[in-house]
Structure 1
Amino acid sequence: MSKYSKELEFAIEISKTALRITEWFKAVGFESFKKVDDTPVTLADLAAQIYIVSNLKTHFPDDQIISEEDSTYLSNQAEKLIKRSFEELNLNNSFNLKEILNYNGKQVNRKWTIDPIDGTKGFQEDLYYAVGISLMEGSDRKISVITAPKFLDKGFTTFTAEKGNGAKVSYEGKEFIPIKVSDQNSLEEATLVRSLHFDKEWVSKFAQVANIKKFVRIDSMLKFCMVATGIADLYVKPVDMDHSYTWDYAPGDLLVSEAGGIISDLNNKPVNFNEEKFICKTPGFSVDNCVLHRDIITNLEIIRFWDVN
């Protein structure tokens, strides 16, 4: 038994149940809202976060919780529908939904990050999305879980990583098996995974300079999973440096690292995490199999439009 096996097993189970909740809303219907940063949120996001937070609060009461949503859109009607979803799925709903949704726990070294639906646009359009959970000590990622209702030609899929113990995947409820990044050493033969709903022209320019011809687009942190499994060889991600958050990237960061890959900013400097903030000092970052990393940075230098610092 590893140091964090208890936390990892627990995160796997609550992520699976959170996915049951989101899929319930997909079948029944859900209301959507646009947040102040123009990103979407649905009642399914709120319900899944309520479930995850309530369980973490019960089982790890001394830990901090960093989560994406709050109670801004939790109307009386929304509460009724969320409680109905819990009742029909035989889940406890005897707590105050608003209090749980706003709960952050203590300001301590151990912190859970929660993204109840990563890829909300994909969820809205019946494409790809995932539930993402990680545990950090300070800014050091210790475990991560990414669960999705589908992954390419597979059904229900769960990815896990534990610091120092590798990355794994379970397809359709089967046994977890180790995963690792590809050994592709040619950018011209490499597959680049790109964002479906948030991309920038400079990524296309980079691909053109690097002579990359193979692309795949997918929503959510499943792009990290594409690299971690070796299905894709690199992922170049634009970011808004003022609106980038730990819950979006911590699960995928650890997964790729434990699968043998590397994540760096466009200046080949490490990315980092500080409470809820994802720290990337350039307008994007690279995720890849390590073998291609030097060539990726070299080609990014050719199209440089950002500061060197």
Structure 2
Amino acid sequence: MDTPYATEISIAIPAIQLAARISKHVLASANKGTIEKAEDLSPVTVADFAIQAYLTKVLSSSFPDDSFVGEESAAALRANPDLLQRVYDVIHECIDEVSSSSSDDQNESQIGIAEVVKRGAPESKEQVCELVDRCGDGGKDGLSADSGRTWVFDPIDGTKTFVRGEQYAINVALLEGGRQILSVVACPLLSRKATAPVGNASVFKVDNGEDGEEGCIVYAVRGFGAYVRPLFVGQGSGLAVCASEPLKRHADGVTVSGLRSVSCWNLLDSGVDDAHKAATERLDVDFPGSDLLGWVPRWVSLALGLANMTVWVYKRRDRYAKIWDHAGAMLLFEEVGGMITDVDGKEIDLTKGRKLSANFGFVAAPRSVHHVALKAVRQTLKEQGKEALLNAA
């Protein structure tokens, strides 16, 4: 992709490949170091901490003037020396594996990959905590138009499904002044050749033989389209350079009869499941269609054309989405012709901080029929007596 962000892409892709190696290393372990966060009892694993620290180290080394936002904080690591040691060890083990597998006949691009990977090695366990906290404290004051460049990470989106060996994603986004500019997402268990419908337990793999591939990376730059490539290629899941394919703008010109849904059915307490179902079926669209817990996998499925609409209404007006679940990943769908607003019809505002406090829920659909989908959602809420979830829009 020939864009003004070619350098950022050339660094972010090998970085997210190594992050995916970390996730698979932890996934293969019987003990994933899972603990519950004190603030909301959601799970977090060794992989979450390790990937956030690693990505921060790579990208801060490459772009020292940028700022960083991520889901995790290091409080649990500081309180648990054994967990911290595991996080430190898994980063170095995965970096060493990549370095030791490098061959003498590498081309210039592969040498570049090795150099990028090594930039993410933390110098100490204390630095691991500092790197995690650099993201954990990021974005609290919002991302105004003059806030410059900010990288946003979700190290493991779908931790609940990750620990079960089901679909999850690693999200890396670059914002400028709170505006999505670059998205790079890795889905280690989703092939670029997957077919709909996909579910949490749908693990798509191409035979990982000598010429096989595993997982996918989907990435986009605003105004330059979206692309897909294998995450790993060849025996040993190497971090080789390989070709990317442009994604078609499949959402352009879609009619209501061509809508296909992705949702999360009956797995999260935050949403109004019956409203999601009724609004989707009001459009004569099968529900749930593709059924995925994590938001980032859902945005990827929309980009890949496995679906082209999603609806989400929270149970309360004071419940807000988190920036790392959506920033960047939404751009993937927008670059194939999608339109995304909240339930009030407002554009998604990423400038308010770690929570998207200016927006309530999501309605995503092809731009050509987004207004129809939005109307169906609002009419459904009125008919179900949920007017309190609507504003006057």
Other-structure match for 1:146: 185
Cα distance between partner residues in 2 of 1:13 and 1:22:
14
Corresponding residue pairs, total:
308
The residue number in structure 2 matching 1:166 is 225
Aligned residue for 2:299, secondary structure, equals helix
Matched residue SS, 1:156? strand
1:222 matches 2:281: no
Cα offset for 1:117?
A: 0.4
- Residue 31 (structure 1) aligned with residue 33 (structure 2): yes
Tell me what 2:246 maps to. 178
Residue by residue over 1:249-295, the C-alpha shift from the partner in whole angstroms, topping out at 9 and shown as x without a partner, is: 0122111111111101112221110232324532x211112222122
Given that 2:343 and 2:363 are in contact with CA atoms closer than 8 Å, whether structure 1 keeps it comes out as yes
| TM-aligned CA deviation for residue 144 of structure 1 | 0.6
Q: Is the 8 A contact 1:115 1:133 kept in 2?
A: yes
- Provide the residue aligned with 2:238 in structure 1: none
1:255 aligned onto 2:339: no
State the AA in 2 paired with 1:93.
P
Q: Cα 1:130–1:6, aligned 2, differ >3 Å: closer, same or farther?
A: same
TM-score, structure 2 as length reference: 0.73
Match of 2:115 in 1: none
Cα pair 2:188 2:215 within 8 Å, conserved: yes
* Equivalent residue in structure 2 for 1:277, among 330, 341, 355: 355
Q: CA deviation at 1:181?
A: 3.1
Q: Tell me, what secondary structure is at the counterpart of 1:17?
A: helix
TM-score by length of 1: 0.92
Q: Distance in 2 between matches of 1:56 and 1:165?
A: 22
Counterparts of 2:260 and 2:163 in 1: how far apart (Å)? 27
- Aligned counterparts, 1:73-222, within 5 A: 73-74=76-77, 75-89=80-94, 90=96, 92-95=121-124, 96-104=127-135, 108-151=147-190, 152=194, 153-154=204-205, 155-172=214-231, 173=233, 174-179=242-247, 180-182=249-251, 185-195=254-264, 197-198=267-268, 199-200=271-272, 201-214=274-287, 215-220=289-294, 221-222=296-297
What percentage of aligned pairs have identical amino acids?
24
Q: Which residue of 2 aligns with 1:235?
A: 310
- Identify the residue that residue 52 of structure 1 maps to in structure 2: 55
- Residue of structure 1 in register with 2:391 after alignment: 307
What are structure 1's unaligned runs of at least 5 residues? Answer: none
* Alpha-carbon RMSD: 2.2
Shift of 1:106: 8.7
Distance 1:261 1:189 in 2: 13
- The structure with the larger Rg is 2
Q: CA deviation at 1:38?
A: 2.9
1-structure distance, mates of 2:219, 2:276: 28
Deviation at 1:228, TM superposition (A): 1.5
Whole-angstrom CA distance in 2 between matches of 1:277 and 1:219: 19
**Gapped regions of structure 2 (runs ≥ 5):** 97-117, 140-146, 195-203, 206-213, 234-241
User: Residues of 2 paired with 1:183 and 1:100: CA distance?
Assistant: 41
Pick the structure with more strand per residue.
1
SS at structure 2 position matched to 1:144: strand
For the residues of structure 1 that align with 2:312 and 2:11, how far apart are their CA atoms? 30
